[in-house]
Amino acid sequence: MESSIHRRIALIKKPSWKWIIICSLIVIPFITFVTITSVTIYSVIARMKETETAQSFGIDPALMLLYKEIADQHQLPWAFLAALDQNLPKAKAVMLPRASKFEMEIESAAQKFSVDPALIRAIIQQESNWNPKAKSSAGARGLMQLMPVNCKAFNLDPDTTCLDPLSNVMAGTEMISRLLTKYNGNLELALAAYNAGEGNVEKHKGVPPFKETQNYVKKIPVLYKEYGGKGTLSKEEAQKKEIEELANRLKEARVKVDQAGDSNKCMKELTRHTPNRGSLTCAAYSLQSNWVFVERVENQARAYEQEVWKITSNSNGTEAAKETSPANPSMETSKNQPSVGMIWPCEGTVTSRFGPRWGRSHKGIDIANRKGTPIYSVLDGKVTSVKSDPGGYGHYLIIDHGKGLSSLYAHMYAGDIHVKVGDQVKKGQRIASMGSDGNSTGPHLHFEIHINGVSMDPMQYIGKKI
């Protein structure tokens, strides 16, 4: 009897491998299916939000994603990069001749040296604008602007036979064909060598930093495309390259401004222009030297940011995010609340939200960015307090926006607060710079919203009419 009981207990304790395998075959695929489905749904929702946001700006959704990708790579605010690109004057479209009297010469050279005739047309358009007798200040000759030394290399007299259309086009086409072969089909390097010489391309290990050559390698591909060329950059690739170049210029200009510090002329003038983004604003100014242009970029960038935040908060599926269900129910019936939209106080990443944190209540949100990032007043108001709390907020300030609403900005350094008690400030006015004073582990802004003295979640108010 006892041995029979022991056997039964052993059977109960010992799991059946058969059942374990069957359960695994059912459970694992189910978990995988649920995971994949969840990720897919999340991706679709995220893409829908991106599309909605882009459409509200009147720009292509793919372009907005491109701005974000490139801005992230260059550590720039995407909205500022987008606004700058949208406002920079674009090159006017070139009215190209549909056909020319030199088609026979072009087709002959293209066939002989296996070069796309559209590329030959593009080079002639840029080099001489179809003038067979053109001579540059540097001495280049003819339709394809051959230098005298190149003319002689093809047994052409610089002053006579090198100006002959057929001879000039044949020699120029043979040159570009050889360069394309040398650089393994890299059109950019071949064009750079055609314009600045192979020696300069080798010396600089790429396109030389000469303004003329830099422009040349940009213009020819555009003309090539206009003439129906094959193998050129697609519209999307060209657009990406253009935005990347702008991001590089902006980043390099910003570094120069930062290195110059207060000695930079623009930084001295900056206090007269609000809102602004410090050295980034001056970097944009260096591209056009026009404050009207810069202010237009600033305004559009902030409009982009506010629209994104508004759409994001209104699309998160929670009742609190809907305009008809305010975060503070009392505001729905109060007639004394402000009716203007609250903007974000600064650029950056929200690293900590409102609510319970580390066993205590976090009364605001934390927005991290680099030291010196501009901080703005979220609404019109009056500065009521500028104080120091060494063990907590560090240096902080409070702005009263009237009718029970106030905002608090913390962790700035003393010298980075640009307002004083009693100052009247406007929405979007720069009031301070980001720091890491007090109980802080790195540069960030601690931001709070108070309604009748009670701390509320700022995320429920930013970007909304309240």
> H helices of 183-290, where?
187-196, 198-204, 211-226, 235-260, 265-269, 279-288
- Tell me: cis bond preceding 275? Omega within 30 of 0 counts: yes
> Are 79 and 56 contacting, i.e. CB atoms less than 8 angstroms apart?
no
The Cα–Cα gap between 191 and 188 comes to 5
- Please confirm, yes or no, whether 242 is among the known catalytic residues: no
> Are 391 and 435 contacting, i.e. CB atoms less than 8 angstroms apart?
no
What one-character DSSP code corresponds to residue 435?
Answer: B
Name the helix (H) or strand (E) containing 123.
helix 117-128
Candidate list 105, 127, 305, 347, residue with the active-site label: 127
Q: What's the one-letter identity of residue 105? A: E
> Are 461 and 345 contacting, i.e. CB atoms less than 8 angstroms apart?
no
How many H helices and E strands in the chain?
Answer: 16, 12
Q: Exposed, middle or buried, 10 (CB in 10 Å: 0-12/13-18/19+)?
A: exposed
Following DSSP, what letter does each residue of 271-310 receive, concatenated?
Answer: GGSSS--THHHHHHHHHH--HHHHHHHHHHHHHHHHHHHH
Active-site amino acid positions: 127
